[in-house]
Amino acid sequence: AQSVSQHNHHVILSEAASLELGCNYSYGGTVNLFWYVQYPGQHLQLLLKYFSGDPLVKGIKGFEAEFIKSKFSFNLRKPSVQWSDTAEYFCAVTVSGNTPLVFGKGTRLSVIA
């Protein structure tokens, strides 16, 4: 079964700093990858997703992620974070249209002024 690892439990950044959150998955076949964000007190929202094609995926709010198949990675990046990016970020993977999403443990991002 597939699994997802998010290496950073809690990341603290100053505003305007660059962000990179790590995500690695374990599955040898074709995967579909997602990043979700959960703002305090709110539900999960999709940031971006990768299914095929260009491995560099651009999402909402200036986020992007790069799929590196050889490294089984799908790291999330943002060049300049804002205070409003403070949230929990989850990486998720699924291997087909009939399987549920498998989530990583999440990374809490705190952006300070």
Partner 1 sequence: GAVVSQHPSRVICKSGTSVKIECRSLDFQATTMFWYRQFPKQSLMLMATSNEGSKATYEQGVEKDKFLINHASLTLSTLTVTSAHPEDSSFYICSARAGTNFYGYTFGSGTRLTVV
> Using the rule CB under 8 A, is 43 a contact of partner 1?
yes
Least spacing, CB of residue 33 vs partner 1, in Å: 12
Q: State which amino acid sits at residue 85.
A: D
Among 16, 46, 60, 112, binds partner 1 (CB under 8 A): 46
6 touches 21 (CB < 8 A): yes
Contact letters (x/-) for partner 1, 66-85, by CB under 8 A? Answer: --------------------
Mapped onto helix, strand or coil, the DSSP state of residue 20 is: strand
DSSP string, 61-111: GG-EEEEEGGGTEEEEEESS--GGG-EEEEEEEESSTTS--EE---EEEEE
**59 interacts with partner 1 by CB under 8 A:** no
Q: Does 60 contact partner 1 by CB under 8 A?
A: no
| 97, 110, 112, 113: which one binds partner 1 (CB under 8 A) | 97
DSSP 15: T
Which residues contact partner 1 (rule: CB under 8 A)? 32, 34, 36, 42-44, 46, 49, 51, 90, 94, 96-98, 100-106, 108
